[in-house]
Structure 1
Amino acid sequence: MSMPISADLLDGVVLAVLKHDDAYGYNLTQQIQDKIPLSPSTLYPVLRRLKAQDWLETYDKPYQGRNRRYYRITEAGRNHLTGLLVEWTAYKKQIDYFLNPTQPQKEA
C-alpha cells in the first residue's frame, strides 16, 4: 500500500535533504526515492515552487562538458522547514494516538 504524500510534507522532505548538503535534481530525486516511492517527474515542480517561494536558490556547476543545476536551501527555507517540523510533530502525535499500538490511549 502506498499512501499519498501531501505537498507540505514533500516540501519538508526536500528542504530536509537540502539542509544537509546542496544537490542537483537527479541526485536529490535518488536520495528521496531511496526512502519514499516517488516519480522523478513529481520533484521538479516542487523544486520550482520552493524556488519561487525563495526557500531554495540554484546555481550551476560544470560537469562533463555540461552544467548541472544545484539546489541550496535559503535561510527562509530553513525557517520554513522549522515550522513544518513543528507541524509534523503535532500531526504525527495525533495520528499515532490512533494507529500506533504501542502508545496507550488516554481517555479524553
Structure 2
Amino acid sequence: MKADAQALKGHLDVLLLAALDDGPRHGYAVKEALREGSGGRFDLPTGTIYPALHRLEDAGLVAGAWSVVDGRRRRTYHLTPAGHRRLHADRGSWRDFAAAVTAILDGKSWPAAT
C-alpha cells in the first residue's frame, strides 16, 4: 500500500527532518531517501517535498545552500541545531504515540504492564 501526501499530513515535517539526519541532501535526494527508507510507500511528488523543505527552512529547522553540480544548480539542505532538537523531541513523541496506538489495536493497556 502506497501512502499519499494527504495520509502523511502532520508527519511530513518529522520525516523530512529524519531524512536529513545523516547529513546534507539536495531536495530530490530527500525525496528518494523517503521512498527507499519506506520500501516505496512514501513516494511523494516533488510538489509536496519542496514546499515542505521551504517551510522548514523558514522555521529555522533546516538551512539550504545553492551549489552547481555538473553544470546544474541545486539546493542542498541540512539540519540546523534547532532542527536536530526538534527531530529528537518528535522522535520521542512519535514512539510514545505509536506505542499507545499499538496497545489499543492489540487490545492491551498502555503502558504495557511488565
TM-score, normalization by structure 1 = 0.84
The structure with the largest helix share of the pair is 1
Cα distance in structure 2, aligned partners of 1:87 and 1:98: 17
Q: Tell me, which stretches of 5 or more residues in structure 1 are unaligned?
A: none
Residue identity (%): 25
Cα distance in structure 2, aligned partners of 1:106 and 1:72: 39
Native 8 Å contact 2:56 2:62 kept in 1 = yes
Native 8 Å contact 2:31 2:43 kept in 1 = no
Cα distance in structure 2, aligned partners of 1:74 and 1:38: 24
TM-score, normalization by structure 2 = 0.80
Instruction: State which of 25, 28, 35 in structure 2 corresponds to 1:23.
Output: 25
Instruction: State which of 100, 103, 108 in structure 2 corresponds to 1:105.
Output: 108
Tell me the residue number matched to 1:71.
77
Point out 4+ residue stretches in structure 1 off by more than 4 angstroms: none
Tell me the residue number matched to 1:6.
9
Cα distance in structure 1, aligned partners of 2:45 and 2:72: 24
Native 8 Å contact 2:26 2:76 kept in 1 = yes
- Number of residue pairs aligned between Structure 1 and Structure 2: 103
Q: Structure 1, residues 16-65: CA drift from partner, whole Å, max 9, x if none?
A: 11110100011111111222232221111110110010000011221111
CA shift for structure 1 position 70? 0.1
Q: Tell me, which stretches of 5 or more residues in structure 2 are unaligned?
A: none
